[in-house]
Chains A and B, each alone.
Chain A
């Protein structure tokens, strides 16, 4: 069930009504939300919900074990088992196909033309997200940030809560579970912000991301050889904005939906392309994943506390694993390496005091450089194979400036995209505050008009969000 569809419209109406009708009794409210979340998830394939439930139960039990033992060594061992279990689930479903095909490729290389097929594995939607949430839960219990839940429904709901279930944001256990401890507050609903986020999210997905995908990114990445350097550049910029609009749209709608049900998630994007360094970029892009990798991988590896060499090693490991999280593919490894080496270069420049200060012209210069580094990495991320990426980069050498793609329509979309990154954050708050002055019923009707407007602009089928496949 995709967010911008009629199915979700009906589902949300039922969820809103049932959730608030049961809100006076916390346990019944949790059960209602849990059932709704599993219905939402089963919409793709009911078999996946067994995996989700099993994973949640395993994490629930392991956290109880953690709480039961005080001995440091035993606790660490349980933590290792818990993390190992979650990574095994993720690895099995996500990478077994890759290993099978690599093995078959290897057989082919040595002259054996047999196709070995041990498993046929369907990738469950959102597996990367709920396994990371499982890890977040047991680590938070291990660190003492939260107590282990006595009631399995809490963990089941934390893992499966439908707004964030399939494409994030990755919600930390310490942020979500305390919200379950008390019933949703029916007198303090952030409705204006919710409507604002849902409206913006739908616009980003239906108009901006879709247009960029169909008019710019698709044609260019399909056959880079047949496009001019100018179009290739547009394609790279286009994909940078497409993936941002697509993914941030999902996060916006998820956060807005959660607000309307009385829950709060942290923001997941913060105008990432106005970053003045790659490290700044990672504080603004997919914040829930980058902070997860920082807290659960980079810091445990030693972070920047064990000397310069180990810091660089840790950065590379973190970024490459971050790349591999997206899928077992060399393109993602290179994407991670570009970011890893970029971060190392930044550290080195900073060490030798060679950094241009991030104010005045220097700030814009840095933004341009960082944006282009990110675009370079996106070319590898989106290309079908390393060969296509190579063709793409090679195409820049033809120095042709004509365009099959650029026109008023695409220009308007790019202008909106750039403007969206450049407007001061205050202006968004200002806009939101002004909307809040309108009576809420009118805000609701306005959002309805926005949906009608977007429905007029939308294709008759909405493509799945890019991050569903991760």
Chain B
């Protein structure tokens, strides 16, 4: 604060007044600025148009951006950006002091990513409309880690930002307690509503093709309460057509899982703090649970019994081993690390059920083992 320490050197003299310009000069400079981006980052612009909410204007923007990208790719103007990207990956992959197993996996994942990028880039230059877009292959703080070669049981964990906190805990605990090898793939701001941003169905198909998994665990849907386009038509959230399409997407993912894995576990969305969001999450959970009933290999795990109060409502804190622990993050949506630990036993429970397969193709939601225990509730 207001100090008069004489040992401090006097403040530097006031900065000289910077050079000034006329509006016409600045306008020209701004045009050059945007022009450079339009020329050299058409791929980035296209990627951005796929991420913004869907409406007729943004749909049109996307088409224009796609044509523009194709043109720029033809002229080779995307090359400088591509070169920078690959050099940057080189630097990120530079050796660390120590390589514990965990970090070796990251290295493997990065190498895989690099080869995927090269392959995709070769493809997009020929045809930018390819859904295997390079942009989509870029991870958003993802925890994608390849499991090492082994003959043990394998589990694939996939999901959105909810899985980004839950996934690493599940992976660690399942590997220790369940003695399985886990591959985790979580991606921020994704779900089933916007396959144009990230296509989970395709991603799960690819992952399960590369590797044989005994089980696939899914947690996603928190970002899906939004409009989307289907066959060029914009479907508004909540309309019957939207619900029908969304359910078909859930079914498609489940079918893909059942074709490749022995067991699929779809973890329902936890109770949400916002009443509006909670309504949406409940509806979504219902659709997932009902669709899961149609697939013998799929099991739906109801998380309201894990994270909710006796009525299934939102809880921030839960008493675990006599200690009040914060099980949800402050946004009232995501699950904290302490909360993620609570999912381990229920998930293990479901996975072990598979070792004694159910003869009935109509599984009910799996109750949480701790459901019988009395819960002491705090906020």
Binding site for B on A (CB under 8 A): 5-7, 9, 13, 16, 20, 100-101, 103-105, 107-108, 113-117, 120, 186-193, 195, 214, 222, 260, 276-277, 279-280, 282-283, 290, 293-294, 298-299, 303-304, 315, 318-319, 343, 346-347, 350, 355-359, 385, 402-410, 412, 425, 429, 432-433, 436, 440-445, 447-449, 451-453, 455-457, 459-461, 463
**B41–A455 contact, CB under 8 A?**
yes
Partner of A294, one of B2, B20, B376: B2
Q: List the A side residues contacting B91 at CB < 8 Å.
A: 408-409, 412
Q: Which A residues are CB-close (under 8 A) to B18?
A: 190, 192-193, 432, 436
A11 to B88, CA, bound (A): 29
Judge whether B176 is part of the interface by a CB distance below 8 angstroms: no
Q: Are B376 and A101 closer than 8 Å at their CB atoms?
A: no
Closest to B12 in A: A425
Which B-chain residue is minimally distant from A5 (CB atoms)? B48
Does B252 count as interface, using CB distance less than 8 angstroms?
no
The smallest beta-carbon distance between A53 and chain B, in angstroms, is: 24
Contacts of B326 in A (CB 8 A): 385
In angstroms, how far is the closest chain B Cβ from the Cβ of A29? 13
* B225 proximal to A (CB < 8 A): no
Task: Tell me which of B7, B21, B80, B140 contacts A440 (CB under 8 A).
Answer: B21
Decide: A459 near B138, CB < 8 A? Known: A108-B378, A409-B91.
yes
Known interface pairs A108-B378, A407-B96, A461-B188. Does A448 touch B26 (Cβ–Cβ under 8 Å)?
Answer: no
Tell me the B28-45 residues at the A interface (CB within 8 Å).
28-37, 40-41, 44-45
Size category of the binding interface on chain B? 35 or more
Of all chain B residues, which has the CB nearest A411? B94
Distance in angstroms between the alpha carbons of A463 and B140 in the assembled complex? 10
Taking CB atoms, residues of chain A closer than 8 Å to B27 are 20
B38 to chain A: closest residue by CB: A448
Whether A403 pairs with B98 at a CB distance below 8 angstroms is yes
A187:B22 contact, CB within 8 angstroms: yes
Contact of A444 with B30 in the complex, beta carbons under 8 Å: yes
Tell me whether B20 and A460 are in contact (CB under 8 A).
no
- The answer to whether B97 touches A406 (Cβ under 8 A) is yes
Contacts of B82 in A (CB 8 A): 456
Most chain B beta carbons < 10 A, residue from A356, A432, A448, A453: A448
From the candidates A385, A433, A444, name the one contacting B32 in the complex (CB within 8 A). A444
Say yes or no: B21 contacts A457, CB within 8 Å. no
Contact A350 B7 (CB under 8 A): yes
Taking a contact as CB atoms closer than 8 A, the residue among B5, B33, B100 that contacts A346 in the complex is B5
Given contacts A105-B378, A357-B7, contact A16 B30 (CB under 8 A): yes
For window 1-24 of chain B, which residues contact chain A by CB distance below 8 Å? 1-9, 11-12, 15-16, 18-23
A440 touches B26 (CB 8 A): yes
- The answer to whether B81 has its CB under 8 Å from any CB of chain A is yes
Q: Could you name 29 residue pairs across A and B whose Cβ atoms are closer than 8 Å?
A: A104-B317, A105-B379, A108-B319, A108-B377, A187-B22, A189-B22, A190-B18, A192-B19, A193-B18, A195-B33, A260-B30, A277-B3, A279-B1, A279-B5, A282-B1, A283-B3, A294-B1, A298-B1, A299-B2, A343-B3, A346-B5, A358-B9, A402-B97, A404-B96, A436-B18, A451-B33, A451-B37, A453-B81, A459-B139
Instruction: Establish whether residues B378 and A456, one from each chain, have CB atoms under 8 Å apart when the complex forms.
Output: no
Rounded to whole angstroms, the CA-CA distance of A406 and B94 in the bound complex is: 10
> Footprint of A on B, CB under 8 Å?
1-9, 11-12, 15-16, 18-23, 25-37, 40-41, 44-45, 47-49, 52, 80-82, 84-85, 88, 91-98, 100, 102-103, 135, 138-141, 188-189, 273-275, 309, 315-317, 319, 324, 326, 337, 376-379
Chain A residue with minimal CB distance to B273?
A120
Known: A346-B5, A404-B103, A457-B88. 9 other contacts (CB 8 A): A20-B27, A105-B378, A105-B379, A108-B376, A188-B20, A190-B19, A445-B36, A452-B40, A455-B41
A456 touches B7 (CB 8 A): no
Q: In the complex, what's the smallest C-beta–C-beta distance from A220 to chain B, in angstroms?
A: 14
B residues less than 8 Å from A451 (CB atoms) = 33, 36-37, 41
In the complex, A208 Cα to B82 Cα: how many Å?
A: 20
- B29 adjacent to A114 (CB under 8 Å): no
Report yes or no: A7 in contact with B22, Cβ–Cβ below 8 A.
no
- B189 nearest in chain A by CB position: A461
Q: Please, how many angstroms separate the alpha-carbon atoms of A353 and B188 in the complex?
A: 55
Q: Which residues of A contact B45 (CB under 8 A)?
A: 6
Flag if A108 contacts B324 (CB, 8 Å): yes
- Whether A444 pairs with B29 at a CB distance below 8 angstroms is yes
**Complex: how many Å from CA A114 to CA B18?**
62
Chain A residue at minimum C-beta to C-beta distance from B21: A191
Contact partners of B22 in chain A: CB under 8 A: 186-187, 189
Chain B positions within 8 Å of A440 at CB level? 21, 25-26, 28-29
Please indicate the chain B residues that have their CB under 8 angstroms from the CB of A406 in the complex. 96-97
CB pair A404 B378 closer than 8 Å? no
On chain B, the residues within 8 Å of A294 by CB distance are 1-2
| Cβ-defined contact, B96 with A457, below 8 A | no
Give every chain A residue within 8 A of B20 (Cβ-Cβ).
187-191
Partner pick for B274 among A105, A120, A188, CB 8 A cutoff? A120
- Contact check, A113 vs B377: say whether CB atoms are below 8 A apart: yes
Question: B residues within 8 A CB of A5?
Answer: 48
Known contacts A407-B97, A449-B36: does B29 contact A455 (CB below 8 Å)? no
| Chain A: minimal CB distance from B81 (Å) | 5
CB distance from B377 to the nearest CB of A (A): 5
For B12, list chain A residues within 8 Å (CB). 425
CA distance in complex: A456, B37 (Å): 12
Complex CA distance for A190 and B94, rounded to whole angstroms:
40
Output the least CB separation between A67 and chain B (Å). Answer: 28
**Complex Cα spacing A357 to B31, Å:** 51
Q: CA of A315 to CA of B3 in the docked complex: distance in angstroms?
A: 10
Residue of B nearest to A448 (CB): B36
Q: Closest B-chain residue to A259, C-beta based? A: B18
Q: Are A283 and B324 in contact (CB under 8 A)?
A: no
Q: Which residues of B contact A356 (CB under 8 A)?
A: 7
A276 CB contacts on chain B under 8 angstroms: 7-9
**Given that A404-B100, A448-B40 are known contacts, is A116 also in contact with B379, CB under 8 Å in the complex?**
yes
Whole-angstrom distance from the CB of A239 to the nearest CB of chain B?
A: 17
Residue of B nearest to A455 (CB): B44
Known: A108-B378, A190-B20. A444 touches B8 (CB 8 A): no
